[in-house]
Amino acid sequence: MAYNVDGKKVLITGGSSGIGADLARGFAEGGATVGICARRTDRLTEVLEICRKANPDADHRMWTIDLSDLDAVQPFALEADDALGGIDVLVNNAGIPKRRKVTELRLDEVDSLMTINYLSPVRLTLALLPRMLARGGGRVVTISSIAARLAPPSEAAYAATKAAITAFVESAAVDLWDSGVRFHLVNPGIIETELFDLPDNDASMAGDDVPPLPPAALTDAVLKQLDDDTFEINVPDWFKDVIAGKAQDTGVFLAGSAAWLAQKQAAPQQA
Ligand SMILES: NC(=O)c1ccc[n+]([C@@H]2O[C@H](COP(=O)([O-])OP(=O)(O)OC[C@H]3O[C@@H](n4cnc5c(N)ncnc54)[C@H](OP(=O)(O)O)[C@@H]3O)[C@@H](O)[C@H]2O)c1
C-alpha cells in the first residue's frame, strides 16, 4: 500500500534537533504540513524555517512544551490536532538517553526516563487515536531503539523504556490491525545527534564498532517504511541479523556481550 506524505499533516515530537529535526525537513520536502514540538524555542524556530523553505505553501506549526509534564500532553495533543487540521501522521520521537552502569543509576533518573520515553508518547498516542479512528485512519510512527532488542551494556534504564514503548506499539498494532490506523516501529542504531553529547551520561560503548549514520539516512528509511507499510525497521538494516542471533539463544548472546564489554574495558590499559 503506497503512502504519499504529500499534503499530509504530520506531528513530530522532539523536532528541535537530531532525528526529529531532520524528519521535519524530510516530511516537509515530501509536501507535508509539519508540526514540531520540544522545549527549546530557538531551535524549533530554526527547524520551522527549514520546513517553510522546503514547503512554503504549508502552514507549518511549532509548540514549546515539556512533554514530561504528563498532564499537559493530552490538551497539547488536541490543540495540535485542531491547529494542523487533523493529524495524519504522529511521530513519537522525543526522548532522552541514559548511559550508565546499572549500579550507578539514580532512581529519579530512572523515573524521568520512563516518563519521557514511555508514558508521554503513550499519552499522546491515546489522545490522538480516537480522532484518527473517527477519520478512518492514520499512521503512528514511534522512534524506539536497537537498545530495546539488544540489551546494550550501561543502558539498562534506557533500554527498558524503549522495550516498553516497543511492546506497547506491537500490541496496539494488533488491536487496530484492520482499523485504518497503522503503527510503525523504528529502531535506530547509532545516528549522529546531540544525544551523545548530553551531560550526565557515560561515553557510548559502541565506539568504532558501529559507524554513526547521518539523520538523513534515518529520515529516508522512515519515508520508505511508510510507503512500503513496513511495521518495523532497523537503521542500519544489518542489525536485524544481530537481533535474530540474540533470539536464538539469549543467554549465549548476553555472555558474548559481557565478553565484548570486558575486552573493551581492558583495551585502554593495554594501550
Ligand atoms: N541518535 C541515536 O543514535 C539514537 C539511537 C536510538 C534511538 N534514538 C532515539 O531517537 C530519538 C531522538 O533522539 P536524537 O538522537 O535525535 O537526540 P536529540 O537530538 O537529543 O533529540 C531529542 C529530542 O527530544 C526532545 N526532548 C527531550 N526531552 C524532552 C521533553 N521533556 N519535552 C519535549 N521534548 C523533549 C529534544 O528537544 P528539547 O531538548 O528542545 O526539549 C530533542 O528535540 C530519541 O527517542 C532517542 O531515544 C536515537
- Tell the residue nearest (CA) to atom 46 of ligand 1: 95
User: Exactly one of 158, 168, 183, 239 is catalytic; which is it?
Assistant: 158
pTM listed for this prediction: 0.97
- In the chain, where the domains are located: 9-237, 243-271
The pLDDT tens digits for 106-138 are 999 999 999 999 999 999 999 999 999 999 999
What is the structure's pLDDT at 123? 98
Q: How many residues does the chain have?
A: 271
Q: What is the pLDDT of residues 26-76, one digit of tens each?
A: 999 999 999 999 999 999 999 999 999 999 999 999 999 999 999 999 999
190 has pLDDT over 90? yes
Residue bearing the CA closest to ligand 1, atom 45: 95
What is the reported pLDDT for 53? 98
Q: Which residue has the cell 518495523?
A: 232
Residue 3 falls in the annotated catalytic set:
no
- The atom of ligand 1 lying closest to the CA of 198 is 20
How far, in Å, CA of 265 to CA of 243, rounded? 24
9-237 CATH: 3.40.50.720
Residue 203's pLDDT is what? 87
Per-residue model confidence (pLDDT) at position 268: 64
Q: What is the pLDDT of residue 269?
A: 53
**Cα of 83 from ligand 1 centre, angstroms:** 23
C-alpha of residue 256 to centroid of ligand 1, in Å: 29
137 C-alpha to ligand 1 centroid (Å):
27
Q: What is the pLDDT of residue 195?
A: 92
The mean of the pLDDT values for the chain is: 96
Model confidence over 209-247: pLDDT tens digits? 889 999 999 999 999 999 999 999 999 999 999 999 999
- List pocket residues of ligand 1, CB cut-off 6 Å: 14-20, 38-40, 43, 66-68, 93-96, 116, 143, 145, 188, 190-191, 193-195
Is residue 201's pLDDT more than 70?
Answer: yes
Nearest CA to ligand 1 atom 42: 14
Give 119 or 263, the one with higher predicted confidence: 119
The residue to mutate among 17, 99, 113, 185, having the most atoms of ligand 1 within 8 angstroms of its beta carbon, is: 17
**Rounded to 5°, angle at Cα 85 from 81 and 87:** 50
pLDDT confidence of residue 149: 97
Burial class (CB in 10 A: 0-12, 13-18, 19+), 103: exposed
User: Quick check: 270 pLDDT over 60?
Assistant: no
Query: What value does the mean pLDDT take over residues 93-103?
Result: 97
In tens, the pLDDT along 148-188 reads 999 999 999 999 999 999 999 999 999 999 999 999 999 99
Task: State which ligand 1 atom lies nearest to the alpha carbon of 116.
Answer: 31
Residue 271 has pLDDT above 50, yes or no: no
Kindly give the distance from the C-alpha atom of residue 146 to the centroid of ligand 1, in angstroms, as a whole number.
15
CA 248 to ligand 1 centroid distance, Å:
31
